[in-house]
Structure 1
Amino acid sequence: MELIIYLLIGAIAGFTAGLFGVGGGLIIVPILYIVFTHMNYDPDVIMHMAVGTSLATIIVTSISSVMAHHKKGAVLWTVFRHLAPGLVVGSFIGAGIADYLSGYGLQLLIGFFALWVAFKMFMGANTQIDPTKKLPSTPMQMAAGGGIGIASAIFGIGGGSLTVPFLNKCGVVMQKSVATSAACGLPIAIAGALGFIWFGQQSNVDVPNTLGYIHIYAFIGISMMSFFTAKVGAKVAHRLSPAMLKKCFASLLSIVGIYFIVQGFSSFA
């Protein structure tokens, strides 16, 4: 039954990753939190395990998603190369920051962040991309990658919540923003997962079947299914209008944000 649950999570997360370029973390983190809670794991590390395991699965999801987007010629590889160094360094730092946060604090942080991004995306859903806008200089893109990496590791996501709006603001159309974001999810996930393994081992996590903050069985189950469904999501993304993609993206973020805010505050009650 546990494996079936992880496979189902992977199916949903993979489709979401391909559709929105978000690496599936926005789906994986809240569901894993619920699953780990029902399995009576240590409440102090449940949220960290959900985030760390999410990042590990995004390694596989991103590879599948970016392959599908690359076939469409939508990935801006030059932009990826500029962002990647900052993404790697920032993700490892973000994992260290998350390690110092309490589980409840992490829930509230993720919740408010998701709602903020949802609001920004929904308000700009029908805004036309300004083709006259250009991407900043290479050093500024690396710096932006660093900020995106830190936030992504803390929130257990592939970076799409920040990479997509950043590229939109710089004049990149939605489909190419999603595709490039999917590629950026790979360095974020690798560096972030390694960080959660390292810091989790330093914290001596006492939960069976884990490597640091990463749950091995959950990683395997989710990764197996998400690799296939991410390709389906990527195909659907190229059939929807940019405005519809943004509104769907914002709706998903709103649901996740409200859930974690409620969970975070109820924990203090």
Structure 2
Amino acid sequence: MEFLGLVLIGCLVGLTTVLFGFGGGFVTVPIITLVDADLGHDTARVAAATSALVMLVNAIVATVSTKRSTLAHLKRRWWLLGLLALGGGLGAFAGRFAPDALLQWGFVAYIAATAIDLLARPGFFRRKAAVVDNVGEVSEGGRGIAAVWGVPIGGLASFLGVGGSVMTVPMMRRSGATMTVATTLANPLTLVIMSPAVLVTILTPAAIEAPGIVGSLDLVAAAALLIGGLPLIVFLRRRVPKIPEILHAWGYFVLLVAAGVVVAVA
């Protein structure tokens, strides 16, 4: 029954991947925290690592299914992508040595700070007019993220297992991107961040002994979530639902806060 429940939750993960660019982080961390609560002080570590694996696979599928015209917003952003990957590897490595309480409450603090920022600063719920740069192109999407933010974004995202959308989507929104463009581009950015993060996790010797746990990965939970999520990602990416901008932005905010609350009380 637990496996079937995770498959159904995987459908929700697939939905958030397409609509909000979360790649699963804001859903899988709380869910794995609840499922593996009996691991005690290792729970947050397993949740972060398993979330990274689920996000990576979801991000690969979502990116492959994305229109080339949308991915073009990341054209010539090699410095940003490289620094995101570097940050992702460093964050995953640091997470191996961090106390479990730091991972859990770091996740909650990260969510809380972002939620406050979205409410306090303008530009997220109602985007400003798109800016045209000096070569006549609309400055939105990936162009709204300075390369200097690559390592901090990648590091925090992989350290806590939340993916990069929590920082990249608001940045892209404030640069003039629509919610559809911002959340869609969050998937390839998550792919770049989580690839080295998952590699670090896999190569690290196993430290937790429990059924279905390999290293710090709960492979059974990850498989169930992916079985539920991947078909929905492929289906919805080809038929992206049309959602009013303001509702799309508030949906992102509500899911963000809900994930933080679940981890805080788990």
TM-score bracket relative to the smaller structure: 0.7 to 0.9
Aligned to 1:164: 169
SS of 2:210 mapped into structure 1:
coil
CA distance in structure 2 between the partners assigned to 1:246 and 1:84 by the alignment = 25
Aligned to 1:31: 31
- The answer as to 2:54 corresponding to 1:51 is no
Q: Pick from 95, 99, 105: which aligns with 2:96?
A: 99
Aligned to 2:185: 180
Aligned to 1:127: 126
SS of 1:240 mapped into structure 2:
coil
Amino acid paired to 2:20: F
Aligned to 1:65: 62
Aligned to 1:267: none
Given the two structures, how large is their TM-score scaled by the length of structure 1?
0.84
Shift of 1:204: 2.3
Shift of 1:61: 0.9
Task: Out of 52-61 and 161-170, give the one that drifted further.
Answer: 161-170
CA distance in structure 2 between the partners assigned to 1:260 and 1:178 by the alignment = 23
Whether the 8 Å contact between 2:127 and 2:177 is mirrored in structure 1 is no
Aligned to 2:135: none
Aligned to 2:82: 85
CA distance in structure 2 between the partners assigned to 1:204 and 1:260 by the alignment = 23
CA distance in structure 2 between the partners assigned to 1:25 and 1:77 by the alignment = 22
1:85-116, Cα deviation, whole Å (9 max, x unpaired): 11211111111222222222211111121122
Shift of 1:232: 4.8
Whether the 8 Å contact between 2:127 and 2:173 is mirrored in structure 1 is no
Gaps of 5+ in 2: 133-138
CA distance in structure 2 between the partners assigned to 1:163 and 1:236 by the alignment = 23
Amino acid paired to 2:43: I
- The answer as to 2:24 corresponding to 1:9 is no
* Higher helix content, 1 or 2: 1
1:100-119 pair list within 5 angstroms = 100-119=97-116
Shift of 1:52: 0.4
Given the two structures, how large is their TM-score scaled by the length of structure 2?
0.85
RMSD: 2.6
- The answer as to 2:260 corresponding to 1:257 is yes
CA distance in structure 2 between the partners assigned to 1:236 and 1:147 by the alignment = 33
Whether the 8 Å contact between 2:88 and 2:154 is mirrored in structure 1 is yes
1:197-224, Cα deviation, whole Å (9 max, x unpaired): 334x2x6222233232111222222122
1:131-178, Cα deviation, whole Å (9 max, x unpaired): 22757x99x833322211111102212311111112222333322111
Amino acid paired to 1:225: G
1:193-204 pair list within 5 angstroms = 193-199=198-204, 201=205, 204=207
CA distance in structure 2 between the partners assigned to 1:216 and 1:206 by the alignment = 13
Whether the 8 Å contact between 2:207 and 2:216 is mirrored in structure 1 is no
1:68-87, Cα deviation, whole Å (9 max, x unpaired): 4326x323231664422112
- The answer as to 2:74 corresponding to 1:74 is no
Identical positions, percent: 20
